Amino acid sequence: MAEKHFKYVILGGGVAAGYAAREFAKLGVNPGELAVISKEAVAPYERPALSKGYLFPQGAARLPGFHVCVGSGGERLPPEWYTQQGIELVLSTEIVKADIASKSLTSASGDIFTYDVLIVATGSTVIKLSDFGVEGANANNIFYLREIDDADKLVAAIQAKKNGKAVIVGGGYIGLELSAVLKLNDYDITMVYPEPWCMPRLFTSGIAAFYEGFYANKGIKIVKGTVAVGFDSDSKGDVTAVKLKDGRILDADIVVVGVGGRPLTTLVKGQLVEEKGGIKTDAFFETSVPGVYAVGDVATFPLKLYNELRRVEHVDHARKSAEQAVKAIKAKEGGQTIEEYDYLPFFYSRAFDLSWQFYGDNVGDTVLFGDNNPESPKPKFGSYWVKDGKVVGAFLESGTPEENKAIGKVARDQPPVEDLEQLKNEGLAFASKI
């Protein structure tokens, strides 16, 4: 089979790969030096669009509209951009073996790619209910959303089962965003999750109460404290019902499962040092093997702000870690150094006409402020997290760009605070004066 050599190879075709390619082009890469190898059939795109605009009933987002780097306000990079830059886009190519010692990658069809420098940007894979042997979990119209192919299948089902019933399994990002967008498609929606409230890894009960109330007002039913243990299907193999652990049975034409992901590190298992579920890197995203870098969801890196190793699954970190790795690679070649990665954790989501942002760390005491009444015509509220007398995290729903910037600055600066009651009363004004 064919063997090709590149100076740089980016393994993976997601958000991080696209931002890394742009950074290489910015810092200078010769034609034929860089390859992006992706098992997807399309050039890197902004993945968050799949759970939002891609599923809109009118004016839906479609490629090439959301290729990277439009998600961060940059120029869109369509497939022809890579050609113009002399970057080889190797699409529809699944790598099945990575040999770090011999610097080679082997594809499912037996092609071999060798490299001098490797960036592992393989991202995460979804956790499937069939992995746990859930009865009937392989029925038709049970969807997981990770790639554009998944979204296309979901779009086809939404149209085929018009105005049907959808059950959303999971109360995290995917659960909340998909419930909202399916509601816009006139579906009867039930959300099911085992936790006492939605988005439990980030939201406090006070924050979650607003979103659950808001969704309930939109006619979305919420079933908490139980899980899906089985699915019924008809003679065609299409799902018809979801069986819950508490004995309830929910009718369903479509099921979307969003119960988390796992970093895709299988290819490098035993070849690179791993920690906390990811590939361990330094502050430049170089792994335990010189010349091999890991970025985005798969990287466990030193989070300078909190002086600890962390893995962060979010598009913002995918973009920034990719840029940092490429800057480090190019600086090293020139015998220079760059500053260590100094990341402020940042998460956000949009659903209906809501939009929240969170910065920092969600540890310590919490202070809820503002109007979090789901019945309000224009609700606006937030929360601070206070640890060791300092504000370490901040959340805001419906903030202006200036207000969001202000809460980000609070999380970064960690100002001292003595009186939690006073902080609650000051609310957003506290952030605005920092």
In a domain, 344, yes or no: no
- Let me know whether 56 and 152 are in one domain: no
- Let me know whether 306 and 357 are in one domain: no
Residue 79's domain comprises 3-125+262-333
Over residues 35-42, mean pLDDT: 98
Q: What is the pLDDT of residue 434?
A: 82
H/E segment holding residue 278: strand 278-280
Residue 5 has pLDDT above 90, yes or no: yes
What are the distances in angstroms from CA 115 to CA 7, 104, 106, 112, 295? 5, 7, 12, 10, 17
Task: Read off the pTM.
Answer: 0.96
In a domain, 343, yes or no: no
Q: What is the pLDDT of residue 339?
A: 98
- Let me know whether 164 and 254 are in one domain: yes
In percent, how much of the chain has pLDDT > 90? 99
- Let me know whether 187 and 87 are in one domain: no
pLDDT digits (tens, 9 = 90+) for 127-140: 999 999 999 999 99
Q: What is the pLDDT of residue 414?
A: 98
Per-position DSSP letters for 305-364, written without gaps between them: GGTEEEE--SHHHHHHHHHHHHHHHHHHHTT---PPP----EEEEEETTEEEEEEE---S
Residue 310 has pLDDT above 80, yes or no: yes
pLDDT classification of 426: cutoffs 50, 70, 90 = very high
Q: What is the pLDDT of residue 56?
A: 96
- Let me know whether 254 and 305 are in one domain: no
Q: To the nearest 10°, the Cα dihedral for 292, 128, 194, 200? A: 20
Query: Strand pairing of 292-294 and 142-144?
Result: unpaired
In a domain, 59, yes or no: yes
Q: What is the pLDDT of residue 55?
A: 97
Q: What is the pLDDT of residue 429?
A: 96
Average pLDDT taken over every residue of the chain: 97
Over residues 1-9, mean pLDDT: 93
What are the distances in angstroms from CA 148 to CA 11, 43, 105, 295? 18, 11, 24, 21
- Let me know whether 73 and 92 are in one domain: yes
Over residues 382-405, mean pLDDT: 98
pLDDT digits (tens, 9 = 90+) for 339-378: 999 999 999 999 999 999 999 999 999 999 999 999 999 9
In a domain, 8, yes or no: yes
In a domain, 383, yes or no: yes
CATH assignment at residue 318: 3.50.50.60
Distance of alpha carbon 92 from the chain centroid: 22
- Let me know whether 138 and 237 are in one domain: yes
pLDDT classification of 2: cutoffs 50, 70, 90 = confident
